Amino acid sequence: MARFIPVHTMDPASKGSRLLEILKDGPATVGELYAELADEIARGEWTRHQVRAHVDCLFRRKKISRDLFGSVGGKPRYLWKLAA
């Protein structure tokens, strides 16, 4: 079982670059990012919370952008892609 690692202790350089590497192949939803990182999540290198936190951080730093993909239960779903 993966242990919880607080967001402020994460290594943004390595994990952020891993997400950017995945998004170089094309846009992806957060669910697709979870699927791509499934082995690493299973080994405890990532938690689902960390994936989401890194996506939000990269978006705030304008390294990635998003398009509204649809909504489920009134919550928006986004398609994440590298910023232009």
**Looking at residue 23, which CATH number applies to its domain?**
1.10.10.10
Whole-prediction pTM value?
0.75
What CA–CA distance (Å, rounded) separates 3 from 58?
Answer: 23
Question: Does residue 56 lie within any of the structural domains?
Answer: yes
Question: Does residue 7 lie within any of the structural domains?
Answer: no
Whether the per-residue pLDDT at 3 is higher than 60: the answer is no
Which DSSP state fits 43? T
Q: Which structural domain range is residue 78 located in? A: 12-82
Question: Does residue 3 lie within any of the structural domains?
Answer: no
Name the pLDDT band for 6 (thresholds 50, 70, 90): low
As for how many domains the chain has, the answer is 1
What CA–CA distance (Å, rounded) separates 84 from 76?
Answer: 22
Which H or E element spans position 72? strand 64-72
pLDDT tens by residue, 68-80: 988 888 888 999 9
pLDDT tens by residue, 15-50: 788 889 999 999 999 999 999 999 989 998 888 998
Question: Does residue 32 lie within any of the structural domains?
Answer: yes
